[in-house]
Amino acid sequence: MAAVVTKYGFVETAKLMTAVDSPVAWATMALGTGSQTENTDVATLSTEITEASGLSRVSAATVTTASSATAADTAKYAHTWTSTKGSTVNVKECGVLNASAAGDMLCYATFTNAIPMESGDTLQVTWSVQVKAG
């Protein structure tokens, strides 16, 4: 019932800062129908939606920087999914990843109230992650 930036996100960030081990930036977003306890060890969605439903993993429509405290100090990922499935899909989790399959998950969240996606429904998810001193 929370949201986390995973330890894998921090590791990949360090690799991107040093260009070590062929790091890959984040540009894909995924939804799932499962849920799990959220902590920084979460590596994958519990039950990622992979079937043809309009709700599977995508290249995020928006991958950019935004300005929070300083210009361009925030990574922003956003996408709007449209369900094409004939039956209801209860979306319970979402994440930002850096591959079209598998990959490293930057951040993860569950939805406190499952989102019942019916055909034609849209779900917009926007993540903002600021780089700053903790």
Q: Which CB sits closer to other proteins, 21 or 116?
A: 116
Contact between 109 and other proteins per CB under 8 A: yes
Evaluated on CA atoms 16, 14, 34, 83, the torsion sign reads negative
Among 60, 97, 105, 129, binds other proteins (CB under 8 A): 129
Q: How far apart are CA 99 and CA 8, in angstroms?
A: 13
User: Is residue 113 a contact point for other proteins (CB under 8 A)?
Assistant: yes
125 and 108 Cβ atoms separated by less than 8 Å: no
Structure tokens at 122: 């849209």
What CA–CA distances, in Å, run from 77 to 29, 39, 51, 59, 100? Answer: 8, 21, 22, 10, 15
Indicate which single residue of 25, 76, 85, 86 sits in contact with other proteins (rule: CB under 8 A): 76
Answer yes or no whether residue 58 interacts with other proteins by CB under 8 A: no
Binding residues for other proteins, rule: CB under 8 A, are: 1-5, 37-39, 62, 66-69, 74, 76, 78, 94, 107, 109, 111-113, 115, 117-118, 120-130, 132, 134
